[in-house]
């Protein structure tokens, strides 16, 4: 399977704990995006990278959220001191530079108790 | 600020019927308008997309109609099939490779 992969697929954590998600984009895709989707809503943009550079961050991304793409390949999204409001599906997508189509992974569903 | 508004929230259609989903946008800088299909537990998958220089695009049973002056676009699913039962999202972006702004989604149920 050469699509976007995300790990883990599900995460249950207690409020206040830190969690980290991983995204592996399609090989050679230099743009990588993170979105958050709550139940019954459309995905909301969080941040995106071109290669290893983080080019844009949404105002939704509080100081507790941090994303990295250290070698321009996989990316990690960390949430510190999780809150119940962080419960959502976290989606990763990738695309080729200057190409419109974003290919989404299956998402990581986070539940904060 | 909801920049892309989608309606209806849900839709029930008989097999063989036509499903119509509408979206309206506010930002005139948007120039790329894709539609995504999402099944439960899966990520969204691109269905069809259009740019504002054309008023209609058709791919198989799926057609996008685009009205630039009204800032509206719609998805028509012809000859709807039970396998089309999914949630559909319209989206918009300012240019190729930029972030997508999604509508709220439409849950479509096709009854056999």
Work out the angle at residue B71's Cα, subtended by the Cα atoms of residues A103 and B85, and round it to the nearest 5 degrees: 45
**Beta-carbon separation of B46 and A103 below 8 A:** yes
Q: Whole-angstrom distance between the N-terminal and C-terminal Cα of chain B?
A: 38
Rounded to whole angstroms, the Cα distance separating A102 from A91 reads 11
Percent of chain A with pLDDT over 90: 84
Given a contact cutoff of 8 angstroms between Cβ atoms, the answer to whether A19 and A66 are in contact is no
Closest by Cα among A93, A88, A72, A106 to A19: A88
pLDDT (average), residues B82-98: 91
β-bridge partners, A108? A90
Does position B1 have pLDDT exceeding 80, yes or no? no
pLDDT in tens, A52-88: 999 999 987 889 999 999 988 999 999 999 999 999 9
Cis-peptide, bond into residue A8, ω within 30° of zero: yes
How confident is the model over B12-26, as a mean pLDDT?
97
Closest Cβ–Cβ partner in B49, B96, B104 for A42: B104
The residues on B that touch A, with CB distances below 8 Å, are: 4, 6, 32, 34, 36, 41-46, 49, 89, 91, 93, 96-97, 99-105
> B32: which DSSP letter?
B
| Cβ neighbours of residue B22 closer than 8 Å, sequence gap 6 or more | B6, B7, B72, B73, B74
Q: How far is CA A1 from the centre of its chain?
A: 20
A112 Cα to chain B: minimum distance (Å): 18
pLDDT of residue A61: 84
pLDDT of residue A5: 96
Three-class SS of B45-63: EEEEEECCCCCEEEECCEE
Which helix (H) or strand (E) segment holds residue B98: the answer is: none
Residue B7 has pLDDT above 90, yes or no: yes
Q: Which residue of B has its CA nearest to A46?
A: B99
Average pLDDT over residues B26-49: 93
Question: Which residue of A41, A56, A107 is in closest CB contact with B104?
Answer: A41
Chain A: nearest CA to B80, how far in angstroms?
22
**Structural Rg of chain A based on CA atoms:** 13
Select from A61, A107, A26, A31 the least CA-distant residue to B95: A31
- Position A1 scores a pLDDT of 54
pLDDT of residue A71: 86
Query: Residue A43 is nearest to which of B45, B49, B102, comparing CB atoms?
Result: B102
CB-based contact A95:A31 (threshold 8 Å): yes
């Amino acid at each position: 399977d050469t699509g976007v992969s995300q790990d883990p697929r599900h995460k249950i954590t207690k409020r206040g704990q830190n969690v980290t998600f991983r995204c592996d984009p399609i090989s050679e895709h230099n743009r990588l995006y993170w979105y958050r989707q709550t139940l019954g809503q459309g995905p909301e943009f969080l941040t995106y990278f071109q290669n290893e550079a983080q080019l844009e961050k949404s105002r939704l991304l509080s100081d507790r959220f941090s994303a990295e793409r250290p070698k321009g390949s996989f990316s990690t999204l960390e949430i510190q001191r999780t809150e119940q409001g962080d419960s959502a599906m976290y989606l990763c997508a990738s695309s080729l530079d200057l190409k419109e189509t974003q290919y989404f992974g299956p998402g990581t569903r986070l539940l904060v108790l | 600020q909801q920049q892309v508004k989608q309606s209806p929230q849900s839709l029930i259609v008989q097999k063989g019927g036509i499903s119509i989903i509408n979206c309206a946008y506010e930002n005139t800088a948007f120039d790329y308008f894709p539609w995504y299909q999402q099944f439960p537990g899966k990520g969204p998958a691109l269905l069809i997309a259009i740019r504002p220089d054309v008023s209609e695009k058709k791919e198989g049973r799926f057609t996008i109609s685009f009205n630039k002056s009204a800032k509206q676009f719609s998805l028509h699913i012809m000859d709807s099939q039970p396998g089309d039962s999914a949630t559909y999202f319209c989206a918009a972006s300012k240019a190729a490779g930029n972030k997508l702004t999604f509508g709220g989604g439409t849950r479509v149920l096709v009854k056999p």
